Amino acid sequence: MAMQASSWILLVVLLNTPVGNGQSVQMDTEVSGFVGSTVELNCLFINSKPPVKISQVTWQKSFNGTKQNVAIANPALGVSVLPAFKDRVTFKHLAMPQENPSLEDTTIVFSNLRLLDEAAYICEYTTFPAGNRENMVNLTVYARPMTHMTLTTPIIIARAQKHKMTVATCLSANGKPPSVIKWDTKLKGQATFQETHNPNGTVTIRSNYVIVPSRESHRQKLTCIVTYNSEHFSDSVILNVQYEPEVKIDGFDGNWYLNRQDVKLTCDADANPAVTGYHWKLLNGSLPRNVEIRNNTLFFRGPVTNDFSGTYICDATNSIGTRSGLVEVNVTEKPLAQGPPGGVLGILGAVVVFGLIVGVMVTICMMYNHGQKSRTEADNNLTEMPPMHKPVPPPPKKNNDVKGGLISDDIQVVLLDKDEMLKLSLHPPYNDMVLSESLKPSFAHKDCDVQYAVLDTAALVSSPRRSVHSCGDLVEYATIQPSSH
């Protein structure tokens, strides 16, 4: 098996290696062209070590495993082209007929290309004594598609049933390779696509654009964009959509009062095609006597009366259908108060809004400042109270002769009734106050409940109390303050 594989490799190398003193055939690998265009298929004989005699050059078409002669060049017989290609294939550098032509360059020119010309083409040199030399080029034929866009129907009608319909078709026919179709429009629709492969190898792309016709789609632009390779083609149409009249009645400003002069109602209708007729009527009644109808306008002659009140209906008709519009007219005894012009109202509204915003901001700032002030005053009041759960700061030293931390002037005893106690802000005992045994108060009755209150010492001085040591009407209260001396 190894010997057999080696033999095959050697055979392939020999077939692809120029032999016979370096003779070879030089050609392009790929050549392409469009249907109807002209291409050249180059073929050059390279002879590095002459002399070599060229006996004949043969061009062949290879397609699906079969070969077909295209043209032949012979030094003795001249050149000839087979009938199937006679009108479209020529040798570029060889005249016909020509005696003793030079066959080193046997390039052929293919004109008016056809899709069936797509194949592999072989240029074969017959030489002596080197033998045959050949090479091959692949010819690809492209087909530029025929592109066009059409309206599906010249008349597009918007119906009340809101049915979908195809309004335009974009076609890219017989392209090779196939093209790509896109739509560009402001319409609210959808596109459908269909691809057909033709027997000759081309592809046809068809795309339909589907919408629900409406008044809004009238005069809208619809563009089809076809991309083929790097080329772009576009075509556009403007839709002509026919629809029933869209009716609106103008003229009633909400201020029809008795004895007002020169009032009228106008029936405005947007329609395609144009409105062919208008018809006025009054719901549940007849039109007033002093009205005059001119086309789409209802003129009221004379002063306004109560007879003008009612619901007025205008019917507008075109070839598609009839639509109606209505307006409710109310007559008042006196004119309604007319406000300032819209521009003045707008300015006044802006000023009011701005004033409200400024007022809210000022109020917020004042509330914030007031809160800050209240908190500051509360903090100041708290600093004047005896601290809770904090050790009592040592009193300032009077002189070096004083042994203790307090003097008699620093201690005041206050006697309060129970009713007076209830009026004071009470605090729990100074549980964490550290006092020496000598400073702890001793009461005759241990079961008395003692509570402490913050007092104004100036008031105490002006209103002394007497002391009763019992759980009766009086209790003791003491505060410690630095003396003034």
Dump pLDDT digits (tens) for 343-391. Answer: 545 566 666 677 788 877 877 877 777 666 665 555 555 444 444 444 4
| Average pLDDT, integer, range 321-346 | 80
Task: Classify residue 57: in a domain, yes or no.
Answer: yes
For residue 380, tell me if it sits in a domain. Answer: no
Pinpoint the alpha helices (H) of 68-212.
none
Among 296, 329, 362, where does a domain finish?
329
Residue 406 is encoded by which pair of tokens?
Answer: 């307090």
Q: Is 54 in the same domain as 66?
A: yes
User: What are the tens digits of pLDDT across the range 41-68?
Assistant: 999 999 867 778 899 999 999 999 999 9
SS3 158: coil
Q: Are residues 248 and 274 in the same domain?
A: yes
Give the least confident one: 259-273, 351-365, 374-388, 431-445. 431-445
pLDDT of residue 47: 84
Q: How confident is the model at residue 291 (pLDDT cuts 50, 70, 90)?
A: very high
In this structure, is residue 248 part of a structural domain? yes
Mean pLDDT of all residues belonging to the chain: 78
Average pLDDT rounded to a whole number, residues 404-428: 50
When pLDDT is cut at 50, 70 and 90, the band that residue 450 belongs to is very low
For the domain that residue 265 is a member of, what is the CATH number? 2.60.40.10
Domain contains 112: yes
Does 136 share its domain with 150?
no
Containing structural domain, residue 269: 244-329
d(CA 413, CA 437): 19
Say yes or no: 166 and 231 in one domain.
yes
Which pLDDT does position 186 carry in this prediction? Answer: 95
Final residue belonging to a domain, choices 269, 303, 329:
329
Within this chain, do residues 264 and 297 fall inside the same structural domain, yes or no? yes
Residue 347 lies in a domain: no
Same domain, 305 and 318: yes
pLDDT given for residue 349 in this prediction: 65
In a domain? residue 324: yes
Position 418 scores a pLDDT of 52
Q: Is residue 338 part of a domain?
A: no
> Of 213, 239, 265, which one is at a domain's C-terminal end?
239
How many separate domains does the chain show? 3
In a domain, 482, yes or no: no
Q: What is the H or E stretch that residue 169 is in?
A: strand 165-175
The pTM of this model reads: 0.58
Is the pLDDT at 399 greater than 60? The verdict is no
- Least confident among 77-81, 204-208, 368-372, 462-466: 462-466
